[in-house]
Chain A
Amino acid sequence: MSDVLRMENVGIDYANRRTRMRIVDDVSLSIGPGEALGLVGESGCGKSTLALAALSYLPRGMRVSSGRVLFDGRDLATLDDAALRSLRGNRVAMVYQDPMSSLNPVVTIGRQLVEVPMLHGERSAAAARDRAIAMLAEVRLPDPERMMSRYPHELSGGQQQRVVIAMALMAEPALLILDEPTTGLDVTIEAAILDLVRELRRKFGTAILFISHNLGTVARICDRIGVLYAGRLVETGDIRAVFGAPAHPYTRGLLAALPRLEAGRGGARLTPVAGTLTAADRARVGCAFSPRCSHALPAACDAGPVPMLPADAEPGHVARCARLEAVRDSRPATPAAEATRGRDEDSPVLLDVRDLSMVYAIGGGLSGGPRAELRALSDVSLAADAGRTLAVVGESGSGKSTLAKLLSGLVTASEGQALFAGADLAALPVDERPADLKRRLQMVFQNPDSTLNPSHSIEHAVVRPLRLLRGLGRAQAKEAAARLLERVRLPADMLRRMPHQLSGGQRQRVALARAFAGDPQLVIADEPTSALDVSVQAAIVNLLAELQDASGIALLLISHDLALVRHMADRVAVLYLGRIVEYGPADLVFAPPWHPYTKALLAAAPRPDPDAPEPEVILGGVMPSPLDPPKGCVFASRCPRRIGPVCDTTPPPVRHPAPGLTVACHLEIADLPS
């Protein structure tokens, strides 16, 4: 038996005092030495549970109730605690999503790293220390010697994740499990981490189980892929075979739901995966996906368990679908064409932001500490037009959320103006805005968990804005609320539900309904889909576009997802350290990318294509502190195309390589596209 990890018909049950539930059903997979298998699926599909089963480390209440998990040919169920302990850490290691919760905040990096070999047989502390330093260099952390004496909080998120990976590799495991290792990190850092994982794999020959909801990251790392749905493996095979010719309708749906970087703002809609996964689907004897599948035939799909069938000539490419031929012969779902809209027409400018700056004063006063200025935004100028989408992109810390807070009046600007509906938003905190201004500007927030008050029903969230912003009476507002829910495709009886009874996507729909309750003119959407699964994201994105078409609002989209921005935006502003480095029509900003930073962002964005070229530039380093911004070009410290000292000393000139496009860079226009 040569496989490192082998799962044979594994089923995992969860039981507590009240319920019993099958989490994972009949999953078989294997990972050979040095192989990388990607597991994808939407949240709740059982990805992480499978990973924990590979460690025999299931949470309380869960157990492997059928099948076998073999590690190095040994059945994990037959091993005692001591044997399992030596297995974990020696032969298999795991990297979790949030590095901060994997690292002990009160112990130095060095001690945490040295602990690993010391626990697994190393006698000499000095030798363990040397190995730890070597491993920190291996994960490309600067100055490993000094890194050893640092504490986790002194490191950036990307550096922390590198330390966790170093820790996992200290024992030279045969299998490395990565559970969403880059979720929550910026695209540039994500690209660098993925690059590192690939290189380490080449070097150490470690097998990898890579868990992700992002098809793009899986495409960059893995040889093979397994697609999970409702705890069942629905398709597996070579990554090129699956991405090239997806066989299962769910896999096809996932791929169709992704916004693509290559496609422009052509007006096409995304194709969401219809319906939602329900608890009843998990218990189905037949195909779990059939209630959401357009190819489903009750006689074929719901009659009995569907076995894994060969999907095509490619060996090892199998799918759990009873109607493979019918699915294969059907054309991949094509997005419905959008109602034609005069894209080229001039539309009136609704929001005109001029030289907006935001400076936070830090320290001083009673709390002590030296007084300092934090420049979160610096001389930002942009405009949003009626019926159009303006996207603001950038890494975390670039000031995009500050801009949203400023415009929504949750903070007040230090300098500059933001003219909207005859008022200067920059000088008007939300509580001082007249009711009509509040009605015209609404916001959709990022986190579906905190966008709705957990203590109040959906009705409260929708009726209150109707009453306050539209001045409706109680009865009228209730009627209007039902109509509003209809507009965001939610059933009217949803009004009586509590937020915790809704899925993330449904909550985001309610948030949209709330924002559109007063017929706004400008809606700020701060990462409206970043916490949602791709299949749900597509539906929300389409809904936003639909609402925008119907009402002609200007949409200010804040996002770090360039593919999404490419899909939605008419105009793009690229923000770095509070400054706009590139601004203009989306088509011009993206093709070709002019500014070196835009180019780096685009290169880093994961593409769901195993044959995508490796990114030419991977941004290293971290964004400088806004407390001490560089005197010259803010991007100079990380710029791959830095000219020389001029970049460090002089702020870059604003160039206009094309009409309507501004680029802040020292490079001559002719040299900008490369």
Chain B
Amino acid sequence: MTETDRAAPEGLAVAPVRRTGRAFAARGAKGLKAALTASPIATLGGAIILFWAICAVLAPWLAPYPPNQLDPMALVDPFPSAQHWLGTDQLGRDILSRLLWGARTVLTVAPVAVLAAAVVGTLLGLVSGYRGGVVDALVMRVGDVMLAFPQIILYLIVITKFGASALNIVLVIAVTKAPIIARIVRAVTLDVRNRDYVAAARMRGESTLHILLVEILPNARGPLIVDIFLRLGYTTIAIGVLGFLGIGLPPPDPDWGGMIKESYGLLFVYPHMTLIPAVAVSSLVVGFNFLATGIREASFDV
């Protein structure tokens, strides 16, 4: 666990500095909590995500109007007002309400998609890293092909072929993100499978399933959690992009990417219609990234 890490002046070698790199992996959920309190950047990221999560959960009660209700009166002056705090869109729908309901969509689809990717990726990574040989080569090469394929084109093909629905979005994201997670888990597995405690487990006759899930997987927890938060950020962007291309969730349901798409033609006339959902997407992405960075710092710093 001690690693050396310091630049040395004039050819002197490095000073040994004790690092607690794996401590987080060993502490799991407690470590997540510790990271949230220890790292200011993780706290900020966590706060942003918590804010949007509360919005999503309480949308039916917080939203002042139904998300699809038209207010013809507001069409005259769609700017923010006492009736519509964040203004209305080009059809006279309340932006605040649509934003809150939109948070619901993104915070359901993104976690479900990433979770699906994590489960598939983890299993593939474990088997691939532990078995090695042909299985490993096959899984990794197929993964390479998936990663080499432009994702946005894959989205377009699948969604246009099978139709725009939440399930299809989840599936296509899970399939494209799984190889990345598989690589991370495989790297940890390659390292851990040669540890003495795995040899000890084999010598007492543990099943392969036990070795994979109980002896190896928990040691991948740290990098896995960091990566899941990063993937959540990217998935939020992906959902936004799908919405913007018009192949996200079918209208009229509120969707942040869709809101940008429908209004960006009026950007210079009514900038709030485009900018408010854009800021919402960005803030959520930044929140996920901050949390990932913060956890990584907290787990690999002294």
Contacts and interface: CB of A to CB of B under 8 A. Distances in A.
A101 interface: yes
B252 interface: no
Contacts of B15: 52, 57, 59
Contact of B26 (A96, A167, A455): A455
Nearest to B197: A453
Interface stretch (A247-255, A356-364, A438-446, A567-575): A438-446
Interface in B165-224: 195-197, 199-206, 214-215, 218-219, 221
A88 B197 contact: no
B11 A119 contact: yes
B204 A468 contact: yes
Contact of A438 (B4, B16, B22, B203): B203
B58 interface: no
Contacts of B14: 96, 101-102
B161 interface: no
Contacts of A500: 1, 22-23, 26
A101 B13 contact: yes
A454 B11 contact: no
Nearest to B196: A445
A411 to B, nearest CB: 11
B12 interface: yes
A438 B200 CA distance: 11
Given A85-B9, A500-B26, A451 B203 contact: no
Interface in B1-30: 1, 4, 6, 9-17, 22-23, 25-26, 28
B221 A451 contact: no
Contact of B11 (A52, A112, A456): A112
A447 interface: yes
B302 interface: yes
A464 B206 contact: yes
Contact of A455 (B12, B13, B200, B219): B219
Contacts of B204: 438, 442, 464-465, 468-469, 514, 517-518
Interface centre among B13, B23, B25 (most CB of A within 10 A): B13
A96 B9 CA distance: 14
A514 B13 CA distance: 39
A329 B1 CA distance: 44
Contacts of B218: 453, 455-456
A498 B26 contact: yes
Interface string A84-103: 01001100011010000110
Contact of B219 (A59, A410, A447, A454): A454
Contacts of B16: 48
Given A447-B196, A468-B206, A498-B26, A59 B17 contact: yes
Contacts of A102: 13-14
Contacts of A511: 200
B237 to A, nearest CB: 32
Contacts of B13: 94, 96, 101-102, 164
Contacts of B203: 408-409, 430, 438, 441-443
B195 A450 contact: yes
A116 interface: yes
B219 to A, nearest CB: 5
B131 to A, nearest CB: 12
A115 interface: yes
Nearest to B199: A410
A464 to B, nearest CB: 6
Contact of B196 (A433, A442, A451, A464): A451
Interface string A497-530: 0111000000000010010011000000000000
Contact of B9 (A88, A431, A461): A88
Interface centre among A16, A59, A511 (most CB of B within 10 A): A59
Contact of A453 (B12, B28, B219): B219
Interface string A463-504: 011001100000000000000000000000000001110000
Nearest to A524: B203
Nearest to A113: B11
A256 to B, nearest CB: 29
A500 B25 CA distance: 11
B25 A88 contact: no
A270 interface: no
A215 interface: no
Interface centre among B26, B28, B204 (most CB of A within 10 A): B204
A96 B201 CA distance: 36
A449 interface: yes
A55 interface: yes
Nearest to B9: A85
A452 interface: yes
Nearest to A433: B205
A451 B6 contact: no
A435 interface: yes
B201 A449 contact: no
Contacts of A94: 12-13
Nearest to A170: B11
Closest 8 CB pairs of A and B: A455-B218, A102-B13, A445-B196, A453-B197, A465-B204, A96-B13, A450-B195, A454-B26
8 contacts: A52-B15, A57-B15, A59-B15, A96-B13, A120-B10, A443-B203, A451-B197, A454-B22
Given A102-B13, A410-B202, 19 more contacts: A57-B15, A59-B6, A85-B9, A93-B12, A101-B13, A102-B14, A120-B10, A164-B13, A410-B199, A430-B203, A445-B199, A446-B196, A450-B196, A452-B197, A454-B219, A455-B25, A455-B219, A468-B206, A500-B23
Interface of A: 16, 48, 52, 55, 57, 59-61, 85, 88-89, 93-94, 96, 101-102, 112, 115-116, 119-120, 164, 167, 408-410, 430-431, 433, 435, 438, 441-443, 445-447, 449-456, 461, 464-465, 468-469, 498-500, 511, 514, 517-518
